[in-house]
Amino acid sequence: MLGAAVVARHRAQAVADLAALAAAARLPEGQAAACGTAGRLALTMHTTLADCAVDGLDVVVRTEAEVALGGDWVGPASASARAGPSGPDG
């Protein structure tokens, strides 16, 4: 069970990172375009976009991946990521 949870958590984090970057790239087109992109990417990667928010020039997303144990659904593993332009110090 622990192994399945760890795999799901890593998948959720990888998708959150990628979704945040993809959403940040679309942010000039508006929040709906940015979060729509994040949602489609999460769906393609067999996860769920649980939250997508814009904070200034940053996009913050939270994804969830199912944890399955022998065909039984245990609950979601979740992860968050933030993407946007770097600050003045790089």
Residue 35 lies in a domain: yes
Q: Please identify which residue in the block is written with the tokens 């998708």.
A: 15
- 46 within a domain of the structure (yes/no): yes
Q: How many domains, in total, are found in the chain?
A: 1
pTM listed for this prediction? 0.88
Tell me the residue range of the domain where 38 lies. Answer: 2-83
* Contacts of residue 81, Cβ cutoff 8 Å, sequence gap at least 6: 13, 16, 17, 19, 20, 60, 61
Structure token pair of residue 1: 């069970």
User: How far apart, in Å, are the Cα atoms of 22 and each of 53, 78, 84, 86?
Assistant: 13, 18, 10, 15
25 located within any domain: yes
- Note whether residue 52 is domain-resident: yes
Residue 38 within any structural domain of the chain: yes
Record the tokens describing residue 62, joined without a space.
Answer: 């939270």
* Domain contains 75: yes
Per-residue pLDDT for the chain (90 aa), expressed as one digit of tens each?
678 889 999 999 999 999 999 999 999 999 999 999 999 999 999 999 999 999 999 999 999 999 877 767 778 999 999 999 887 655
Rounding to the nearest 10 degrees, give the CA dihedral for residues 26, 27, 30, 36: 50
